[in-house]
Structure 1
Amino acid sequence: MTHDFFLIGVDGGGTGTRVVLGDAQGRELVQAASGPSGLGLGVARAWQSIQAACGEAFERVGVTLDWSRCVLGCGLAGVNNRDWLAEFYALAPKLAGLAVETDAYTTLLGAHGGAPGVVVALGTGSVAASLASDGGFRMASGYGFPSGDEASGAWLGLRLIVHAQQALDGRVPHDDLVEALLAHTGAQDRDSLVVWLCAADQTAYARLAPIALEHRAHPFAARLLGVAGVEVGKMIAALDDTGTLPVALCGGLGAPLREYVPQIYQARLREPLADSARGGLQLARREAERLAGR
């Protein structure tokens, strides 16, 4: 690899894409963001979002984007689906290099700097991962919306909207929490909510999650957030038999949900050293070194 190449770390989820542009040595130059690039929302859409974010990053440093000079390290939601992953590689532009891992792995790289530890990434979806002292990598959760991704934004949003449905029917009280949920969806009644539901995807549900935090004193929201914390604790326990590894809560919901994690884990919680996009930059650097050694 020469000084003419650029390393790019990509963090792609169901809500948005963040990239970190670095030079050939991995020194960070600039950051940029764009729309979702989780593979479950469509592989072509993922590449559109990645290209938009990369284009913005290059524009900020005053350089024309040339894929042939770029090595990408991508941490993406949905790469466990082999068909989606194969399509992602097939649709890739002509890059100097491309390394793709689950966003859980790049989150782990960023959070603990490659050292042993546990991460619980809480965003649109959720996934937990651990790196043991022997280098072993394990994952928990992250099975995808709607059946998994406990404690994620989409998981919270789905339960919130069920509560709003019950309120419209008179099964639970119609109060300020319900009004906030309906206002977000633009629904006034049963039929208009059904219209919203028919178009809603995981991103739409995840955008409801902040309403639970804004109404955290509401009995339903308080219970829901408490359950989310318990689910985070179950992920940590599943990934660390020793009960000793440091734990970083990452993603947009990591900090807001910290207080709901059971007390037994609180002393092990650490602030992440860096984010998944910077973990992707580490991945890109490894790929560049691998290519240089061939």
Structure 2
Amino acid sequence: MAAQGILGVDGGGSTTRARLWAADGRLLGEGRAGPCNVSTDPAGAADNVARAWAACRGADGPADPEVVAVIGAAGTQSPDARARFAAALPGFARCEIVTDGYAALIGAGGGQPAGLVIAGTGAVGHRLMEDGRSVQRDGFGWAGGDRGSGFWIGRRVMRHGVRALEGLVAETILSRLLFARIGGYDGLMDLISGLRPADVAALAPLAIEAADAGCPEARAILAGAVAELAGLVALLDLPASAPLYLMGGLAPALQADLAARIGRAIDRPRGDAVDGCRLIATGAAPPETPLTKGYPPPARAQAGGLVRAPDEGLGRPAGGG
């Protein structure tokens, strides 16, 4: 049976977004649901994909076996979690699972070679190479990575607030905004109890607001985030001829400073992650083929510059990671 619909799903750590197209390219519906983090809750992630799919389909849409789906999902690096997620999905005619960052890369660049940095709750960098293979840098999650992300900023906002609360540093615009938001000491304890990465990342806009109001502490935090994202760009080893995109909730606030720091333009994305899923589903963009090599042994790191892996031409700034 020929596919009657193409479903693209962007399963992010906070929200799942989906769009359904007819085989002739007509948009049939859109839907949203809750978070889709495969690594922490495979069953819940699959359930939110099903909910977003149901919202797209409505009462008169095609049945599961009539639809080709491409799902860009957060937290798919674990084989076990990915398998449990796939097993719980609706019975689509064909279903391809890619990382949410790869879907965003394809959407941003229209399936052409490009680089992408995503700075949202987490942080990750992706590059599509000329031969169709792709590279991912960071994306290790809040515990091991997400450098320059909303979580990275929010954690520093919270730590600054704690230091101000205990009298270790003077009260600042940032600390006042924080405690006005969460409600003082009791609010801080409520926040810490059952804390999730998204809760910490939700504090990042306070740093942006305080920096706009002239707070030196907030400006230093944002400058640190920009430095981390610049390091992520360097890890992609992107040629000057390839466009670079910046996406995610922090992009509007950090793009100008990041462009100035790395000394190159940041381009306007052509589309979003859901568009990327559609391009993959129709064959207009390559499937995700990760390049698993490229990190040189730490012993080969040299002070300054980019250390390249000899067989892949990719590397990392010495001492970074």
TM-score above 0.5, yes or no: yes
Q: Name the stretch that deviates more: 27-36 or 127-136.
A: 27-36
Aligned residues: percent identity? 31
Partner residue of 1:127?
A: 124
CA shift digits 1:27-75 (9 cap, x unpaired): 433333221112134112112222222222223xx52563222221111
Paired residues of 2:117 and 2:245 also in contact (CA < 8 A): yes
Residue identity matched to 1:150:
R
CA contact (8 A) 1:248 1:272 kept: yes
> Higher relative contact order at CA 8 Å, sep ≥6: structure 1 or structure 2?
1
Shift, 1:116, TM fit: 0.7
Q: Distance in 1 between matches of 2:112 and 2:251?
A: 20
Counterparts in 2 of 1:113-192, with a 5 A limit? Answer: 113-185=110-182, 187-189=183-185, 192=187
Q: Which residue of 2 aligns with 1:39?
A: 38
Answer yes or no: is 1:197 the counterpart of 2:192: yes
Q: Is the 8 A contact 2:154 2:203 kept in 1?
A: yes
Q: Which moved more, 1:120-129 or 1:45-54?
A: 45-54
Gaps of 5+ in 1: none
Alpha-carbon distance between aligned partners in 1 of 2:110 and 2:155, rounded to the nearest angstrom:
34
Alpha-carbon distance in structure 2 between the residues aligned to 1:203 and 1:241? 30
In structure 2, the partner of 1:83 is 80
Supply the RMSD in Å over aligned alpha carbons. 2.2
Name the residue aligned to 2:311.
none
Q: Distance in 1 between matches of 2:130 and 2:67?
A: 32
Point out the structure with the larger helix share: 1
**Secondary structure in 2 matching 1:146:** helix
Q: How many Å separate the matches in 1 of 2:34 and 2:253? A: 23
Aligned counterparts of 1:163 and 1:8: Cα–Cα separation in 2? 44
Asked if the contact 1:145–1:154 (Cα under 8 Å) also holds between the matched residues in 2, the reply is: yes
Instruction: Give a deviation string over 1:136-195, Cα, whole Å, max 9, x none.
Output: 31111111113211121122111111111111111122233223222333x421x54233
Q: Amino acid of the residue matched to residue 144 of structure 1?
A: G
Q: How many corresponding residue pairs?
A: 284
22-31 vs 34-43, which deviates more? 22-31
CA distance in 2, matches of 1:28, 1:268: 33
State how far apart, in whole Å, the 1-side matches of 2:61 and 2:20 are. Answer: 13
Residues 112-156 of structure 1, C-alpha deviations (whole Å, 9 max, x = no match):
011111000111111100012232311111111132111211221
- Distance (Å, rounded) in 2 between the aligned partners of 1:124 and 1:258: 16
Are 2:68 and 1:71 equivalent residues in the alignment? Answer: yes
1:262 Cα deviation from its structure 2 partner: 4.9
Residues 146 and 65 (structure 1 numbering): CA distance in 2 closer, same or farther, change over 3 Å?
A: farther
Q: How does 1:1-294 map to 2 (within 5 A)?
A: 2=2, 5-59=4-58, 63-64=60-61, 66-185=63-182, 187-189=183-185, 192-216=187-211, 217-240=214-237, 242-263=239-260, 265-286=262-283
What letter corresponds to residue 40 of structure 1 in structure 2? S
CA contact (8 A) 2:177 2:210 kept: no
**Is the contact made by 2:115 and 2:127 (CA closer than 8 Å) also made in structure 1?**
yes
Structure 2 stretches lacking a partner, 5+ long: 288-321
